[in-house]
Structure 1
């Protein structure tokens, strides 16, 4: 059947694995290609992708990705992207720069909203305004506030990438990729190297858009339950405005090396006295493009077999070697035309780099000779198959996973539909596995592959200062070359950009951005079916939902029975349950058993304030998922894990502690705003204090001490772990959460009830969690070129009782004032505020921020934006945006868990409906109430900053006593 006259239908196939009809089209006039999946997924997805291979490291593709969303021909406002964040029901809205492509995906469950998003994005990419001022704001510019001041670089991407390159792991990833592909586009930093970004000119930036952002270079994608013909009509309205044009965007193949190469470099980091392990080493291989879907699956399964779980032989060999603290490298990746394989270690003595390399190669050689055990192969095959069939992408829209799978081949002239089907390839791979396929692949892909690099990184405590001095020297040289007229012009340009950034958009232009109305929003909350009862003597939550034949099971244990000194052990205790083995099997056998018989067993903790209480909901969960034939085996495994884990396995526990410490330190820079938020709130409420002990700076300090205590006082550490198990795992304070459709529940119920009889029946009283917590202002020093600045307080303690309407005011604040002041004008990658209505905690946060005091001043001035009159359009958009957040998409397992968690925190459906009504009924008065609270934070709030020593010291010099200083790294 014809779908649209402007398009030629190339393929029409049913993909059973995606439950979709796959339609591949070519636009007759321009050659643009469109893959349209028609299915019953209400979470509709659109994405438009361009091949954008850069030929330098100026970050041009990345800066352009930011810039096209800053106003377009049809929507000539400063930030249509932000207006959509503010006033859309989107379930995904972002843009992404990759080494060879730039993608613009959106998703929504509401059809009208979905097509609104599609139209704004299409106009943005094809007809952006991309003025020189936008380039300067999002990319880079010289900033000079007066003719006597120092010249500085500013720009959102410039500071974002400074933050990226403050992470040693990011430096390793960048160097490793560039080392393998020195002659092609993959040898450039597609995100932008801060040293190279100022080399980019506006004319180069414009030419890049003119060359690559054309329908002839387009891969457009749809997935969902909307109508296929309407999709094409929307696209043709844009594509037809262009003529066909040849676009040279091919990613060339990197010529192969004749011999391995080595790169030795440094990163800006500190060194502790007497502790030489501040190095990293990684071996990297370039692979040939996979010939078909079977080979692509083979790459993924081989990576899982080698390093995909703690018991995988290469990962196990590295972590048990004693040479380092944790693994680096992602195994075998799939994101590049010529894939990349990487394995290495962090937390090593750089002098041991060759030992690590030799261990990697010798372990691969041994596996290639002796092969994988049948149990390993069976576990890997089951894990892969379960994941493919479940296709549970969490909060990530399922259609987007289809899109990126298709792009892996489609981008380079291959078949976009083949990656969506896996049955035949999976069957073929299973047959190959029995014939020593993976062992021969280790030899072919890795051992006999001379296109290999070794990258060795060492910490250099002086590097940060040298890089700052070099940047200052360059800027001083630029300034010296400017005569007085040029200096005054630079000051004028700085003032002009700031004035433009502060200019309010014309209401008539803002009104052009399509939006829903309040009448389009459902007034009632979404309810999840839940039967509350008991199973034996244990509280039961059951959710009858369609789960494709999978049982999702959560066992929850109340943490309040534990003495508070035991709480910091919990993250490692949870890992120990699954990664130390039992009295009957070592942890390798246990891991393989989990892989063979289940879709996964995992542990985690739930932590929140409770409604109407100063206390907390604090729970430990062991969760599993399995198909019907494996219910019993999953329960057996969960019983062994809970009651028989080898908590006396000192060597394994020590290595896990080292990995945990190294992992936390690696997250410090990428997740700096979350670290600050956790620390900021730790002195405000019980739940927040616990969160700091389990995942904040206090936890890092605990880990550092624990690593030493494992050697000096193992008996004490083991005793603490045993106390946790003996106290926690009892039926008296336990809950069970089950999500599965009704027919399978009747089959599983007796098996679960029988399992419960094997658990102890103690009912321990609640422990004393009296905590003398209090907020304080701190400066936490790390070796970074950017800062993460937080300020906050508990509004309830300051005398404010707000409603759900406060979230609407916060949405407005985040997408107007804070976006403008902290990101656009301040040059930070992000600035926002957060408010938890249950606890009363409020925080301002910035991300990858070149400023410190200016950002605090911006926070202190935030109430002005809330006191100012708000237009009806802004109010409506903000309400819509908050409802979109509240009604976010969830898969059945997440719906069941969320329903149970709301009950445990005291959040009843009546409270949810009340909050929804408050959101929908928000008025200007609610903005003023939040403004008064924000004023109180300006006067009484406390500050936490994670950042570089120079910035923190300078802030204290200018405002003595502002921050208590602690060196974290």
Structure 2
């Protein structure tokens, strides 16, 4: 994955300053919540495996802060639609109150809302810091470390100590607290000089075996058999990061040791075949065939360079930083990657992967002395080096005048290409890092401009009708110098300059007139709430803090400062209150944007021939390579190809496998963790209560049954959800409603949830309304939810038309970047009713509906508005409603009267018969054709239909298949970025999927070989134990309190009892080789009866249909 200037989102963006992270996250998460992630929930929940793993990958990953959607076992890289895809490579793809009459706040700006305060402000009497275990100076010195400084950080309730390794100068931040989810990370500055992708390829390669762990891939062994809560690696434009996390201390230090040995003593600097596998190589199976390029990173980046938003982001960054390391692509340009030599690769590791050039982070409740002890074993083996000087990042000198560039992107043939242009305005804000006060103010300004649907710059651009969606995303601060980017896609060629003028004129007007006081209060409350709640979903909090700290630390600045937001936040609030918001923000707009000559305008033009032209160019280069070779050369290349494949497909010897540390089954709890749940009734409505410590925040879900909704209305549901949150009421404009939500709550979201229920024909189909607020605003929260559900008016035709265009643009973007999700949803729609429903609300069918609807809005608005109202009347009712509440005992009690009042205000209706949902798409193989250089290949079948009876061992087996057979054959040998399988135990659908895959039919052959793989499989007790432990790690994934309450609610909806959870756990723990053998029949059923869906290039689909006539029914999507 790539981050432009540094996800979770997925991941939790690293940044120069923590406040800007949250300022950016809030708006972007809200956009995800109302758009892409919401639709992916509906479309992809079908693919999620079992109740426990479901809770890990879906139920708690979508907490209130709106974590990104993912397909289990293979995280996707989502990015809010309003911004570029970030350029971070990842080895893996990878939630006494006021009266209810909605008064707006006073125009007198005397203070910010105190409602979001979760921790004492500086004016409060500080409580003494808790005592955490520390390392005495003498002990540190004996271990080779000198204490540089230490601070207690009240914002994260942690004691942070900065050490320096005396011999090498390595810097170590040791953060101690009571968080059981322990985190380690080591980061190196790795600035590239060209676009061969050397940092990215090295990031992949160092985890392919090391001195102590001489396996092909210790990383995969850890994936199979550890209790990790995070295990991955990232490549940024100027640094490479290797983090791990676990709640089990023994497991945690096992992970740390494997990672330290990997980065300092990797086999890849000695083994040319690792470089070939992960980077690039020529492949020739037979001298009579054509030579091709292969390599995991090479194919990953081919996928990246097929996506218009990625191309735009890269062009913008490289044009902004032409004279620095940011002017090249650290991930690698597929046209340049084959120029990288093994010698250059080895030298890069020698130069930069040295303790002197590292930043090392520990976090959690483990022993800080043990941290230094394990580090000393590695660091003491090195002397000091000049790497810190050689890796120093030089700033870009500012331009004296603006620059304009024109690029092209691969577009599909057909359609009105004239309306598929993109334009983005980019500014480099400073020639050096900004001071903390200015950074915070700019981050706040960014949220005011773009952070919510009501933000003026975002609103005006979308309402202009000049484009389909926003690109750019505002402030990016994860590099040495911050930048600001904004633009639109889906723009007519004639309107390019109109977009530029609108951006400039809007900023000028805001500089002259300032921002609305309510908007400022709403933004501040939103930012404060998120900062103090510190809800990072499934992403470890310690890793989020690490990435924030690294954002300063990597540039030799103070690593403590990004962790301390309280004082700068209070200072900014005081300054705004004293000087007025206009005096604070208008000069920033003028200085850093309007009067800034370091401006780059990037125009992107659609080119329907670009993909084919680049493919032809690559083939021409390879043909010239082959022509230049002698017969002996071709024979040698063929031999090398087969030798590499043989190595890839040969299992590691048992003695090598035993070197990887692992837990035993004795370390695994025999019972699943249980969430306290009380089931009650308030005025005829079922209420679930979860008594958990939430730091004075109340989390709630209100769930409504969708079973009576007419099937023809299903595709309108996602737009209905967006309309509820982005249209106004009779008394409030949507801007006022949005601001009120921001001032009174931590956020509200609405989305559909659909799942099969094991043993039942009818699916579970609900509308979920989620919200959170401080204890003092519980009544405000439920009043606002009631207003959203019942008072919002579906009368704004032009806004609805914008929603349709934005959704269509997002779906088209998903086809290119997350084609595996589209394929998964499509297969599921062919195999069960719940999948059919979800695909109607978030798959290819939904995209086809949007394209038709976009043309209908002007002619049929009355009917569309009436349909939206019909959805509301069909769904929102006291009948079939369920309320879920997660808070501590006191706030649960306080919420009961509020919930009772809310329930009484819900409409009642006569019972309506459920609509027939027993629909599926035809069981035909489909190829969804798009302009791309890589494919997404899926195959699936319902194994319950052939007699398979669910056993917990299926979770172990499916995970093992993903991490062995598919990893080796689809990724390692096949060159795809990833291959995996998934078992939805609710529906019985077992599916195979690949990601950024250069193959099509070859990948299907691998899927079909799974039965033979299991039939011939022989595994020893140690391997089996690792597989079981790895599965338990998924089942017992770390959850924050809101996620626990949410997961428990979904188990209730799906009828999953605690007794069943215990039974499945026992079956997992007792999994045997016999269970693997028994699963063979199920895999043979997928082979013989499975349906295939591929999102692929026209060339590969044509070739497949030529080899197997009429194998695919072709649907052109772009």
TM-score normalized by the length of structure 2: 0.86
* One of 877, 882, 890 as aligned partner of 2:1039: 890
- Contact map agreement 2:191 2:237 (CA 8 A) in 1: yes
CA drift of 1:184 comes to: 0.3
1:737-791 superposed Cα distances (whole Å, 9 cap, x missing partner): 0000001122221122112211102243322324254422101100000010111
Q: How far did residue 61 of structure 1 move?
A: 0.2
User: 1-side partners of 2:272 and 2:442: how far apart?
Assistant: 44
Instruction: Tell me the equivalent position of 2:419.
Output: 277
**1:598-652: CA deviations, max 9, x gaps?**
1111112222111321221111111111112211222221111000112111111
**Cα distance in 2 between the residues matched to 1:481 and 1:905:** 63
What are the superposed Cα offsets for residues 870-907 of structure 1, whole Å, 9 maximum, x if unpaired?
22122111101100000011110110010010010011
- Of stretches 725-734 and 767-776 in structure 1, the one that deviates more from structure 2 is 767-776
Measured against aligned partners, the alpha-carbon deviations of 1:110-154 in whole angstroms (never above 9, x if no partner) come to 111111000000000000000110000000000111111111101
Select between 37-46 and 751-760 the one with higher mean Cα deviation: 751-760
Q: Alignment partner for residue 43 of structure 1, among 181, 185, 188?
A: 181
In structure 2, stretches of 5+ residues that fail to align are: 1-135
Q: How does 1:646-657 map to 2 (within 5 A)?
A: 646-657=793-804
1:930 alignment counterpart: 1079
Find the residue that maps to 2:241 and give its secondary structure: strand
Deviation at 1:668, TM superposition (A): 1.4
Kindly indicate whether residue 646 of structure 2 is the aligned counterpart of residue 499 of structure 1: yes
Aligned to 2:366: 226
Instruction: Report the more deviating stretch, 293-302 or 537-546.
Output: 293-302
**Structure 2 residue 955 is matched with structure 1 residue 777:** no
1:73 touches 1:123 (CA, 8 Å); kept in 2? yes
- Aligned mate of 1:881, from 1027, 1030, 1042: 1030
Which residue in 1 is equivalent to 2:316? 176
Q: Alignment partner of 1:58: what SS?
A: coil
3-state SS of 1:49 partner: strand
Superposed CA offset, 1:559-616 (max 9, x none): 1121111111111100100101111111111111111111111112222111321221
User: Where does the alignment leave 5 or more consecutive residues of structure 1 unmatched?
Assistant: none
Cα distance in 2 between the residues matched to 1:216 and 1:290: 23
CA contact under 8 A between 2:763 and 2:917: conserved in structure 1? Answer: no
Query: 1:432 offset after TM fit, Å?
Result: 2.9
Structure 2 CA distance, aligned partners of 1:59 and 1:772?
44
Aligned mate of 1:572, from 715, 719, 737: 719
Partner of 2:60: none
Given the alignment of the two structures, is residue 104 of structure 1 paired with residue 269 of structure 2, yes or no?
no
Q: Secondary structure at the match of 1:259?
A: coil
- Counterpart position of 1:264: 406
Q: Aligned to 2:770, what secondary structure does the other structure show?
A: strand
8 A Cα contact 2:461 2:503, kept in partner:
yes
SS at the partner of 2:927?
A: strand
Distance 2:699 2:748 in 1: 10
Number of aligned residue pairs: give it: 969
Please state how far the C-alpha of 1:290 moved relative to its aligned partner: 4.3
Secondary structure at 2:998's aligned position in 1? Answer: coil
Partner of 2:225: 87
The SS at the match of 1:682 is helix
1:704 to 839, 848, 851: 851
Cα shift at 1:421? 0.8
Question: Within 2, Cα distance between the matches of 1:927 and 1:295?
Answer: 59
> How many angstroms does 1:297 deviate by?
2.3
1:274, distance to aligned residue in structure 2 (A): 4.3
**Is the CA contact 1:807–1:882 (under 8 Å) kept in the aligned structure 2?**
yes
- Tell me the residue number matched to 2:972: 824
Q: Paired residue for 1:409?
A: 552
From 127, 144, 149, the counterpart of 1:11: 149
Q: Is the 2:829–2:921 Cα contact (8 Å) retained in structure 1?
A: yes
Aligned match of 2:346 = 206
Does residue 671 of the first structure (1) align with residue 853 of the second (2)?
no
- State whether residues 928 and 1096 of structure 2, in contact with CA within 8 Å, keep that contact through their aligned partners in structure 1: yes
Could you tell me which of 980, 986, 993 is aligned with 1:845? 993
The alignment status of 1:140 with 2:276, answered yes or no, reads no
- Deviations along 1:209-232, whole A, 9 cap, x unmatched? 000000000100011111111111
| 1:733 match: secondary structure | coil
Answer yes or no: is the 8 Å Cα contact 2:758–2:985 preserved in 1. Answer: no
Name which of 289, 293, 312 aligns with 2:436: 293
Establish whether residue 941 from structure 1 lines up as the match of residue 941 from structure 2: no
Deviations 1:418-450 (A, max 9, x none): 110111010111123343211211111111111
Structure having greater relative contact order (Cα 8 Å, sep ≥ 6): 2
Tell whether 2:494 aligns with 1:354.
no
Matched residue SS, 1:23: strand
SS at the partner of 1:310? Answer: coil
Deviation at 1:945, TM superposition (A): 0.6
The counterpart of 2:1113, out of the listed 956, 964, 967, is 964
CA distance in 2, matches of 1:383, 1:127: 45
CA contact under 8 A between 2:1008 and 2:1087: conserved in structure 1?
yes
Deviates more, 1:485-494 or 1:887-896: 485-494
Note the 1:25-424 alignment, pairs <5 A: 25-130=163-268, 131-247=271-387, 248-274=390-416, 276-288=418-430, 289-424=432-567
Q: Describe how 1:710-749 pairs up with structure 2 within 5 A.
A: 710-749=857-896
Moved more, 297-306 or 105-114: 297-306
Task: Give the CA deviation at 1:866.
Answer: 1.2
**1:450 maps to which of 592, 597, 606:** 597
CA contact (8 A) 1:614 1:685 kept: no
Q: CA deviation at 1:275?
A: 5.9
Partner of 1:796: 944
Following superposition, the deviation at residue 244 of structure 1 comes to 0.6
Return the alpha-carbon distance in structure 2 between the equivalents of residues 261 and 116 of structure 1: 51
Question: Are the aligned partners of 1:567 and 1:694 in contact in 2 as well (CA < 8 Å)?
Answer: yes
Work out the CA distance in 2 between the residues paired with 1:879 and 1:156: 28
* Matching residue within 1012, 1020, 1027 for 1:864: 1012
Whether the 8 Å CA contact 1:551–1:628 is kept in 2: the answer is yes
